[in-house]
Each structure stands twice: as structure tokens, then as C-alpha cells.
């Protein structure tokens, strides 16, 4: 039985945002899933409250510094190269390189990243409620929470600047 099956069932009219957020819960620790399940059951009539709860739990989980990143350090040079391609406007080449690099990821991390990116893309749509006032709901989540943090420490950034060890 998957973790998401233990959550209150979403009505047929439930939106895509809720669906993709609930899909991400499979990768969270059981304690957080239980907490979310209880919170969703308590606020079942308030969709905005449910979205806030899911968003806060997902952000909290992916902000944990002791949590291993989804994009591991052994591929850091590849990811840096992809970032450089993006900065230089070579979008098609960057997309191809990213697709190839994802095949090198272990299947669990790849699936978690896929679900997380799907959630982020859905949450960033203009018609969705903005739960993150910092950047209109569009946080630089990958750099902050998914790429190996230690690899960024003390290394020059794409612009030649040296990071101070804090997430950008």
C-alpha cells in the first residue's frame, strides 16, 4: 500500500495542484505523511488551507540540510555545464544534456525529481494561488534544495563569483 493511499480521497473535482502535490508525498517520511493526512482531514472543506499545508510540508522536507540532494555530487560538473548552456541561451542543447544526465541518476532519485518538477511546474502556473510571496511561487528550488550543497561551497559560480557556503 503506497503512502498516498492512506490520505483522504480527493474529490473528482480536485485540481491538478493537489494531485501532483499528493504524488510527492510518497517520498516523504511516514511521520510527515501522517501529519499531512491529519491536516488534510481536518481542513477538507478549505482547499486553500490544504494547499498551504502540503506546500509547507514539501518545502520543509526539501530544505533539510541533512537530507541528501536529488542531483548528486558525482554529476555536479555535468549539471554545471547544463546551467552554463542555459545561461548562454543554448536551450535545446541544455535540454538534451539534461535528459541524458537524468538517465545516469538512480531510478528512485529520478522519479522523485520528476514528481517534484511536475509539482513545481503546476504550482508556478499563473492561475494557481501563490503560496510563496518571495518570488510569486517560483522559487529557485533546484539550486537551493536539490543540488549537492557541499559542491557549491567554496567553488566559483558560473559568473566567477565565489559562494559563501549559503544556498544562493
pLDDT digits (tens, 9 = 90+) for 15-44: 899 999 999 999 999 999 998 999 888 877
Q: How much is the average pLDDT of 127-138? A: 61
pLDDT digits (tens, 9 = 90+) for 58-70: 988 888 867 777 7
134 inside domain: yes
pTM (predicted TM-score): 0.66
109 inside domain: yes
115 inside domain: yes
pLDDT at 70: 79
Question: Please, which residues have CB within 8 angstroms of residue 131's CB and are 6 or more apart in sequence?
Answer: 51, 52, 55, 123, 137
Question: What range defines the domain where residue 117 resides?
Answer: 3-70+105-152
pLDDT digits (tens, 9 = 90+) for 99-128: 888 888 889 988 998 899 889 888 888 877
**Tally of domains within the chain:** 1
1 DSSP 8-state letter: -
Question: Please, which residues have CB within 8 angstroms of residue 102's CB and are 6 or more apart in sequence?
Answer: 110, 113
Amino acid at each position: 500500500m503506497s503512502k498516498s493511499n492512506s490520505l483522504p480521497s480527493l474529490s473528482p473535482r480536485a485540481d491538478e495542484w493537489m494531485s501532483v502535490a499528493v504524488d510527492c508525498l510518497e517520498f516523504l517520511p511516514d511521520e510527515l505523511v501522517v501529519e499531512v493526512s491529519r491536516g488534510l482531514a481536518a481542513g477538507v472543506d478549505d482547499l486553500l488551507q490544504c494547499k498551504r499545508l502540503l506546500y509547507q510540508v514539501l518545502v520543509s522536507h526539501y530544505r533539510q540540510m541533512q537530507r541528501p540532494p536529488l542531483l548528486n555530487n558525482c554529476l555536479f560538473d555535468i549539471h554545471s555545464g547544463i546551467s552554463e548552456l542555459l545561461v548562454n541561451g543554448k536551450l535545446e542543447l541544455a535540454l538534451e544534456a539534461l535528459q541524458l544526465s537524468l538517465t545516469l541518476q538512480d531510478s528512485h532519485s529520478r522519479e522523485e525529481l520528476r514528481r517534484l518538477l511536475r509539482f513545481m511546474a503546476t504550482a508556478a502556473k499563473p492561475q494557481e494561488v501563490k503560496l510563496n510571496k518571495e518570488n510569486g511561487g517560483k522559487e529557485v528550488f533546484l539550486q537551493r534544495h536539490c543540488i549537492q550543497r557541499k559542491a557549491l561551497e567554496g567553488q566559483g559560480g558560473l559568473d566567477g563569483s565565489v559562494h559563501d557556503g549559503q544556498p544562493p
